[in-house]
Amino acid sequence: MNEYTVTRADLSEAIYKEMGLSRTESSLLVESILDHIVAALVKGEMVKLSGFGTFSVRDKPPRMGRNPKTGREVPITSRRILTFKPSNVLKERVNSALTQKP
């Protein structure tokens, strides 16, 4: 596997090349989409992107943990976590791409 990371600039550049929007418009579009996703997640809503996956926020209750260094019990506070569940379409595309490489 390579260690390439897709950035906002990469997404913006792809929109610029494929859709013909200006670089400024492409950048604003990427930012707007990400802002909408974040706003929905902050409100506790689920974000479903067809053919890609589902982002959701989950509340985890408080619990007792253990400090691995000392072995002492430590309380872990309740918190909200972000989860992502890929769609079957995405899983199939990733798996088929991995099996086709030499």
Q: What is the CATH number of domain 46-102?
A: 4.10.520.10
pTM exceeds cut of 0.85: no
SS3 of 13, please? helix
Give domain limits for the chain. 1-42, 46-102
Helix 8-19 and helix 23-42: axis angle, to 10°? Answer: 130
In tens, the pLDDT along 4-35 reads 899 999 999 999 999 989 999 999 999 999 99
**Around Cβ 26, how many Cβ atoms within 10 Å?**
21
In tens, the pLDDT along 53-67 reads 999 999 999 999 999
